[in-house]
Amino acid sequence: MPKRKATMTAHPATDATAGAGRRAMPVERLPQPCGIPPAGAVPAPAGHPHGDLDRAGRAAVARATAGVSPQAVIDAWSDWATHLARSPGRQLELAELAQSSALRLLGHAVGAAGGGAAPAPFEPKPYDHRFVHPAWRMPPFSLWQQGFLAVQDWWDHATDRLRGLRTHDADRMRFQARQTLDLVAPSNFPWLNPEIIEATLESGGRNLVEGAGHFSQDLLHTLTQARRPAPEGYRIGTDLACTPGKVVYRNHILELIQYEPRTGSVHAEPVLIVPAWIMKYYILDLSPENSLVRYLVEQGFTVFVISWCNPTAAQAELSLDDYRKDGVMAAIDAINAIVPGARIHANGYCLGGTILAIAAATMARDGDARLASATLMAAQVDFVEAGELLLFLDESQVAFLEDLMWAQGYLDRPQMARAFAAIRAEDLIYSRAVQRYFLGKQDLPTDIGVWNADTTRMPARMHSAYLRGLFLENRLTAGRFAVEGRVIALKDIAVPLFVVGTEQDHIAPWRSVYKLALFTDCDLTFVLTKGGHNGGILSEPGHEARHYRIGHRPKDALYLGPDAWCARHVPREGSWWPELSAWLARNSSGKVDPPGMGAPELGYPALADAPGSYVHQT
């Protein structure tokens, strides 16, 4: 098997700072006119040994705060409080709101005391399921619920955007206020939650005993970070990630899986799926009934999937460009050997779509015409409107995370998972805690739940470059992202694009995903589907209560904004997967006999059965 040499070359756009890894890395930079430093460049640390003491101290604090910079929190509070203090009009508005809310609560309490059907003046947000039990509508529980919702409503107004207040600080303040209120919600306390009281009376307190056992198990797991075995019926390679195939290439960063054909003939152009390195690839090959991989194979496509390694501290110096060269491009080279002469339908999911867009733009710049099309699923190329994850990112936050990764060599998934859970803390943290610890209910295993618990890491240097070059400085769409010393442009991509956004995505908001239409001129099909970041993509045919919108933009057509696009395209019932299959077929050149599994004579033998070994790395 031919081996590809790992390259660690630093690039001016993807390695903007030397502080990403355990030691300073030399950074190549493009010549700058008039001696102006590159945009976003950060001065290299002085290198004095006392600097390591500072970084070690910050890393220790970062572990305790789950990577949240105290300075960023203080800055947001200070900015908000200062502007509110010199805004007497807003203060009067908030005082009037408090008075109005108090009167509405008083009216509700009087009506409830009189035994009448007093209408609730405040309603939970659509995604808030903490108060669904019928007893929350009856006193005294309704008074506690309404009081909490009234305070929540007041803080929503108090942290609304204020003239002169930085938008980022206003949004961060609202997030912090919501986190604090979620902690003290009446649903979290057994003596205030009617559902817990009812369960305790019915079971004689057994729910609390079982909940205490669950809490002990979770505490031990948190302290030891021991890997939990997959539940029965959810084993990797047997029940999940079980589409038949072979590992046909392996290097230090990936295993390439080729799936066995299930039809007598196949489309001439193979499909390469590039998942995000933040996740195990089998989110796209879960159970047989909701596997996108299996679906495409059954539609007559030759499918290849990248299975990323789970990096350790020894791989801290892997760069973002390593993932492009030794990841995406290495996979394309292997597929070209196995299916000679065929162009490739490339498909990127989440961060995999971002690195695929970078690779596609680089290939277009360099005259590499091996792509037949590109599909980007819930993937962003512009990060100005990147959703609530931006609340965790500014210079202080990124530097804080860099120091944490400097000490560890990587960012661990549990540290990332806390940020994702905090975005919907009322459901992902507190509602689950109530169910598990006070109601004594076990978590029911699901395929996506098992996948979500199968955590991964991200190497320090790559993640630092990703946060700075893409999230913080938005270089890719600003014309300042260089690959191998030269800037790339998304508008150079000429192959047809199939872009998927999901309606409730808090990681890659669909309007942000849609912005690819603003930075490209090629033929583009956009799909907006029901669901969130994962659930919207796993929208197999037959899935109940699914819908999607689809629209086509011809090459060189005028730009249409996202809201206007949404208004113009009506929802269609069902799954969007058949639309993808039909689109791939239209952009293919016909049917041929299935290729062989691997190409042993060219150095790509079948090394192992799917799902390979990297998916089992812990």
Active site residues: 350
Task: Compute the distance between CA of residue 513 and CA of residue 500 in angstroms, rounded to an integer.
Answer: 8
Q: How many residues does this entry show for the chain?
A: 618
Task: Compute the distance between CA of residue 359 and CA of residue 353 in angstroms, rounded to an integer.
Answer: 10
Q: Is 299 exposed, middle or buried (0-12, 13-18, 19+ CB in 10 A)?
A: buried
Closest CA to 285 of 42, 612, 598, 574: 612
What is Dmax (Cα atoms) for the chain? 86
Closest CA to 55 of 332, 407, 316: 407
| Runs of H (alpha helix) within 114-233 | 141-158, 167-183, 194-203, 206-224
Task: Compute the distance between CA of residue 528 and CA of residue 521 in angstroms, rounded to an integer.
Answer: 20
> From the centroid of its chain, how far is CA 353?
11
Task: Compute the distance between CA of residue 41 and CA of residue 27 in angstroms, rounded to an integer.
Answer: 10
Count of CB atoms within 10 A of residue 618's CB?
10
Tokens of 368: 């590499």
Task: Compute the distance between CA of residue 297 and CA of residue 290 in angstroms, rounded to an integer.
Answer: 13
Tokens of 288: 């047989």
Tokens of 480: 């300042």
Task: Compute the distance between CA of residue 388 and CA of residue 262 in angstroms, rounded to an integer.
Answer: 42
CB of 477 closer than 8 Å to CB of 528: no
What does DSSP say about strands 303-308 and 271-274: parallel, antiparallel, or unpaired? parallel
Element (H, E) at 528: strand 524-529
196 phi and psi angles, rounded to 5 deg:
-70, -40
